[in-house]
A and B are shown apart, each in its own frame.
Chain A
Amino acid sequence: MTYDTDLLVIGAGPAGSVAAWEAKRTAPDLDVVLLERDAVVGQPVRCAEGVGDAGLREFADPDGAPWVARKITQIVFVAPDDTEVRVAERAVAWILDRTRFDAFLAERAVALGAELRVSTEAAGMTCEPDGRWRVRLRGVMGEHYCRARVVIGADGVEAMVGRWAGLDTRVPARDMESCAQYVLAGIDFDPDSIYLQFSDRIAPGGYAWIFPKGPGVANVGLGLVALKADGRNARQYLDDWIARRYPRGAKTGCTVGGVIVHTTLRQTYTDGVLVAGDAAHMINPLSGGGIVNAMKAGRLAGRVATAAIRAGDTSASRLSAYHAGWMALLGDDHLKYYRLKRALEGLDDAFFNSLARTANAILPEQRTLGRIFAHALVRHPQLIPVAARFFL
């Protein structure tokens, strides 16, 4: 069986659902199909679920929303020796309930007329002589095909759509964070703060995090670069950290996954195909955050795809507007963040311990990120080349 559509979006995460929503918003007359491999949109959660306030508000209002788990007002950096540095800025961020949030985004696309199919996996695709893509699908309906003018690959870290379309989606090992996370209950922390701990012993090449979901309950996890690890895998590192920090915590959920801390794919488009979100390596390489980036890319992809379909030209040269738009929006910044990430890799635990002492010597109400940075440059001259690589 084969059915035809104008736009096929593969993956109903933040990138895919926003792409489908934006496509229906800008072109209500076009057919949009949104595929999800798993049986339930938003499950399993492979995410620490933290998101910045400003970026989130471009897409949805978090105040009182059912898909919010917790409002965050403070960031606490934790040095390798457990010294805590509370930053003075009242940073607002949100910890989402991704299961509900992803369902909310998909629902919004469906409300505008997109067709959502769950339990349906893309298994391969070929380009037809007329330029349309014929995508092989497997799901509850058995094996069938969908022919589409444009395919948006929002299929996450595995990025098979890009691979099938001939894009190089591979990642060097040093730019892959191996992550593990528990939902930990019955633990003691400030539920209005997120905690980030940097240490080669705890999470080499990455960091460990505590993202509150409510009083006493948090996403507790870490990401590390396996090349720098001592032979333990990410889950073993996490078990050891939790055994030391929260031996009495109840592990009520567990997840693992990969976060690509690289720069955007050299090419995120080809004839009739766009890739967005994790699949296009659009994660902030310094923070590892990718939810808002994925939604921004999805919005852009949805717009460019519908305009191309309307114009009857879905060639790579027409779709390249998507790549240019993304690079101007965030992609070029990611090049800078990536250079900074690589420069910071050279600093060790002793440095971060002394940096924490420098920061805590500043009065708490004056301890802004800018002031910490200025003091650090004076006290730790080894930071000057790091700063130079970021700003030059």
Chain B
Amino acid sequence: MLDAPDNGRYRWRMRPAPPEIAVVDLQLCDRCGLCLPLCPPEAIHLRLADLVVDRSVCTGCRKCIAPCPVGALTMVPA
């Protein structure tokens, strides 16, 4: 369970579970925060200096994948 409030903006929306979701490779991630404002449902957070993708919120839209300067974000089957 993620502890950062997201204002409930997207929780109410019913959506089918995405076939794929984003995951972060913390070995590659530089914690620059670039992907946070790119995520439409605000599923990505920095927590205790580690990047976290909230699996229950990610819609699998891929908007965070290509912009990562070090390629730390990839898609995996949900």
Contact = CB atoms under 8 A, between A and B. Distances in A.
Interface of A: 37, 46, 121, 123-124, 126, 138, 156-160, 163-164, 166, 169-171, 173, 176, 178-180, 226-227, 229, 231, 233-236, 255-258, 260
Contacts of B46: 158, 160
Given A138-B48, A176-B38, A255 B30 contact: yes
A156 B40 CA distance: 18
Contacts of A227: 66
Nearest to A122: B4
Contacts of B34: 157, 176, 178, 256-258
Contacts of B49: 37, 121
A257 B69 contact: yes
A163 B30 CA distance: 22
Contacts of B33: 156-158, 257-258
B75 to A, nearest CB: 14
Interface in B56-78: 63, 66-71
9 contacts: A124-B5, A157-B36, A157-B37, A159-B37, A160-B45, A173-B38, A173-B67, A233-B71, A260-B37
B24 to A, nearest CB: 14
Interface size class of B (residues with CB under 8 A): 20 to 34
A176 B42 CA distance: 16
A170 B3 contact: no
Given A173-B63, A258-B32, A233 B68 contact: yes
A256 B69 contact: yes
Task: Tell me if A's interface is mostly helix, strand, loop or mixed.
Answer: mixed
Contacts of A180: 69-70
B44 to A, nearest CB: 9
Nearest to B42: A163
Contacts of B3: 123-124
List 6 A-B pairs, minimum CB-CB distance, nearest first.
A258-B34, A158-B33, A256-B69, A234-B69, A226-B66, A226-B67
A257 B32 contact: yes
A256 B46 CA distance: 16
B7 interface: yes
A249 B57 CA distance: 44
Nearest to B32: A257
A169 B69 contact: no
Nearest to A281: B37
Nearest to B45: A160
Nearest to B39: A170
Nearest to A163: B42
A179 B45 CA distance: 20
B25 interface: no
B11 interface: no
B31 to A, nearest CB: 9
Contact of B36 (A46, A159, A231, A256): A159
A233 B66 contact: yes
Nearest to B35: A258
